[in-house]
Amino acid sequence: MTVSLRLILSCAMLAGALGPAQTASAAQVPHAIPAARVSAAPAAQAPQGTAVTQAVRAPAAPCSAPYRIDRTLPNGARWQLCWEMRTIEGLTLNKVVYTPKGNRPVSVLRSTALAQIHVPYDSGTPRYHDIGALGQSAVPLLAADCPGGERREQSVCVTTRPRGHAYLKSGYEGPSVSAQGHDLVVFAAFQVGWYTYLVEWAFSDDGAITPRVGATGSLAGSTTTAGHGWPIGVGSRDFEESHSHNVFWRLDFDIQGKAGDVVEQYDFSGTRTAKRKLKRTTFAKEAKALSRRTRWWRVVDRGVRNADGHPVSWELNNSDSSQYRGPAGEAFTRADVYVTDYRSCERLASVNPAPRCAGSVDRYVNGERLTDPVLWVNVGYHHVPRDEDADPMPTHWQGFRITPRDVTAKNPH
Ligand SMILES: [Cu+2]
């Protein structure tokens, strides 16, 4: 399918599908989907408008039982959140609250979801925008697809998974100590064309959050010349076309409510010198940022302090991107992180569905003062097909990590 047809379909379906509770018809699916795996997933009836701070202080649940996730991991850390299956963004996680063992709850995210998977092929065409009606492409999960976990409405898996060593300290100044860590994992799978995308968030027992997307299913079967592809199959007749998967996430941070959240960028200057110097840049206005070695960002709330008196923050690292930069018409690919002030109609990083809003994330950055920051994270992967990608294609993961910085005054293990 050509990009223009797919874009037309996307715009048409998005114009009428703004509400999270709406479902789109099968005719709006971006391109052909193997029928056995298609599911028109019902949209969750997640309630809106409950403040995170209320969720923290009051035991009353911010969403009804089927959409509530509340898990205490083996080390005592607790995660609480709500999920919904939105027509446009697919799996969406709301009102995310972390409680380190023995500490008070801290609300982290008001909402997070995928904001686009942009797939430009190396010959210049096609150029897909795979998100626009993700919710209706949710794959019904089998029990084996959700090991050790529970399936919610067939398409969302909630499970716990080991994550290796939480720490290991040798015993030269006392007994040896070590512990194995665990993640609460929430994921869904979506069929978009020949690809199956695994969309996952891991909530670790040390407070880290790891959003990632796994591309699996089948290659699209788009053949090209040797300069834009790689020979797969017998001999060197068919060159499967290389392409990028530029995945965007939208993260609406609310550290103990939206008030007081500030975004900072950290750099450590000095090269070929013995010293390194910390440099902090505070974003007063909406901004675009590029990844660099040692650069990271954080969302900090100076009104919320840990027991050491340090402001509570969440650090964002985005160091595993291929940093795809597209042509002039794809300016949204030209930064690795965007910081915008919250607007409800700014939902996707490209092909945004709301007519009263700009069409892409680069244009959301228009000089507004930041009062309620939303972060957009762009992680690219350049996929050069190989023989091993023959069906079923092995999963390739791409993502990033958010880490607590001074949420607790010491290791909360
Ligand atoms: Cu690929």
pTM given for the model: 0.86
Amino acid at 114: L
Query: For residue 217, how far is its CA from the centre of ligand 1 (angstroms)?
Result: 10
Check residue 42 and give its pLDDT. Answer: 33
Amino acid at 381: Y
| Phi-psi category of residue 110: left, alpha or beta, with phi > 0 → left and psi -120 to 50 → alpha | alpha
Say whether 53 sits in a helix, a strand or coil: helix
Query: For residue 330, how far is its CA from the centre of ligand 1 (angstroms)?
Result: 19
C-beta separation of 401 from 209 below 8 A: yes
C-beta separation of 254 from 270 below 8 A: no
Check residue 60 and give its pLDDT. Answer: 61
Check residue 47 and give its pLDDT. Answer: 35
Q: Which residues contact 124 (CB under 8 A, 6 or more apart)?
A: none
Query: For residue 392, how far is its CA from the centre of ligand 1 (angstroms)?
Result: 13
Q: Which residues contact 234 (CB under 8 A, 6 or more apart)?
A: none
Residue 209: burial class (beta carbons within 10 Å; 0-12, 13-18, 19+) = buried
Query: For residue 383, how far is its CA from the centre of ligand 1 (angstroms)?
Result: 5
Query: For residue 8, how far is its CA from the centre of ligand 1 (angstroms)?
Result: 23
Check residue 174 and give its pLDDT. Answer: 85
Extract the tokens encoding 250. 């939208």
Query: For residue 194, how far is its CA from the centre of ligand 1 (angstroms)?
Result: 10
Query: For residue 120, how far is its CA from the centre of ligand 1 (angstroms)?
Result: 10
Query: For residue 10, how far is its CA from the centre of ligand 1 (angstroms)?
Result: 20
Query: For residue 222, how far is its CA from the centre of ligand 1 (angstroms)?
Result: 11
Query: For residue 243, how far is its CA from the centre of ligand 1 (angstroms)?
Result: 6
- What is the rounded distance in angstroms from the CA atom of residue 146 to the CA atom of residue 159? 7
Query: For residue 382, how far is its CA from the centre of ligand 1 (angstroms)?
Result: 8
Query: For residue 380, how far is its CA from the centre of ligand 1 (angstroms)?
Result: 11
- What is the rounded distance in angstroms from the CA atom of residue 331 to the CA atom of residue 368? 19
Query: For residue 89, how far is its CA from the centre of ligand 1 (angstroms)?
Result: 20
Closest C-alpha among 132, 128, 127 to residue 115 = 132
Check residue 62 and give its pLDDT. Answer: 86
- What is the rounded distance in angstroms from the CA atom of residue 146 to the CA atom of residue 160? 10
Average pLDDT, the chain: 87
Query: For residue 395, how far is its CA from the centre of ligand 1 (angstroms)?
Result: 10
- What is the rounded distance in angstroms from the CA atom of residue 304 to the CA atom of residue 394? 43
Query: For residue 215, how far is its CA from the centre of ligand 1 (angstroms)?
Result: 7
**pLDDT less than 50: residues of the chain:** 1-59
Dihedral pair phi/psi, residue 144, rounded to 5°: -70, -20
Query: For residue 130, how far is its CA from the centre of ligand 1 (angstroms)?
Result: 12
- What is the rounded distance in angstroms from the CA atom of residue 380 to the CA atom of residue 170? 39
Check residue 359 and give its pLDDT. Answer: 97
Closest C-alpha among 301, 246, 292 to residue 265 = 292
- From start to end of 171-317, where are the E strands? 177-192, 195-204, 209-217, 223-224, 229-231, 239-241, 243-253, 261-269, 277-283, 287-289, 296-305, 311-317
What kind and span of H or E run contains 161?
strand 156-169
Query: For residue 384, how far is its CA from the centre of ligand 1 (angstroms)?
Result: 7
Query: For residue 4, how far is its CA from the centre of ligand 1 (angstroms)?
Result: 20
Extract the tokens encoding 316. 């964002």
- What is the rounded distance in angstroms from the CA atom of residue 207 to the CA atom of residue 412? 9
Query: For residue 210, how far is its CA from the centre of ligand 1 (angstroms)?
Result: 21
Closest C-alpha among 124, 115, 3 to residue 350 = 115
